[in-house]
Amino acid sequence: MNVEKLFSMQKALDQHIEKKHNLQEENLFNRKVLALLVEIGELANETRCFKFWSVKPSSEQSVILEEFVDGVHFILSLGLEKGFQEITEILASENKHVSITDQFLYVFEAIQQFSGNPSKDTYITMFQAYLDLAILLGFSHKDIEDAYMKKNEVNYERQKQGY
- The class that CATH gives domain 3-160 is mainly alpha
The pLDDT-based confidence of 144 (bands split at 50, 70, 90) is very high
The pLDDT-based confidence of 96 (bands split at 50, 70, 90) is low
Q: What is the pLDDT of residues 131-140, one digit of tens each?
A: 999 999 999 9
Angle at 60 between CA 55 and CA 63, to 5 degrees: 125
Q: What is the pLDDT of residues 28-86, one digit of tens each?
A: 999 999 999 999 999 999 999 999 999 999 999 999 999 999 999 999 999 999 999 99
CB atoms near residue 138 (< 10 Å): 10
Q: What percent of the chain has pLDDT over 70?
A: 97
Q: What is the mean pLDDT of residues 93-102?
A: 81
Predicted model pTM: 0.93
